[in-house]
Amino acid sequence: MAFGTNLHTVREEQGITQSTLADKIGVRPSMINQIEKGLKFPSLTMAIEIAKVLKCSMDYLCDINRG
């Protein structure tokens, strides 16, 4: 799923670990790992928090308006 791939890309570009991101949004690192692998999808609230922490748009994370 695009969300997980884009999350991984942005997180890595910013040098943020899964653990750090998880701490900032109040989840376990395993949840971030599962989202990045496409095994789980975050709730809307969690996705918004991820976008805020990473200072990126939901459009980018959700792969909207590309192409």
Tens digit of each residue's pLDDT (9 = 90 or more) over 4-55: 999 999 999 999 999 999 999 999 999 999 999 999 999 999 999 999 999 9
- Tell whether 67 is covered by a domain: no
Give the chain's domain count. Answer: 1
* Single-letter amino acid, residue 22: A
Mapped onto helix, strand or coil, the DSSP state of residue 46 is helix
Query: Which CATH number covers residue 33?
Result: 1.10.260.40
What is the C-alpha separation between 50 and 67, in angstroms, rounded?
23
Q: Closest by alpha carbon to 33, among 43, 22, 47?
A: 22
| Other Cβ atoms closer than 10 A to 18 | 20
Position 64 confidence tier, pLDDT thresholds 50, 70, 90: confident
- Residue 44 resides in a domain: yes
pLDDT at 5: 96
pLDDT value of residue 66: 57
Could you list the residue range(s) of the whole structural domain that residue 46 is in?
Answer: 2-61
Residue 66 inside a domain? The answer is no
45 within a domain of the structure (yes/no) = yes
- The answer on pLDDT for 65 being more than 90 is no
Q: Rounded to an integer, what distance in angstroms lies between the CA atom of residue 25 and that of residue 48?
A: 10
d(CA 48, CA 55): 10
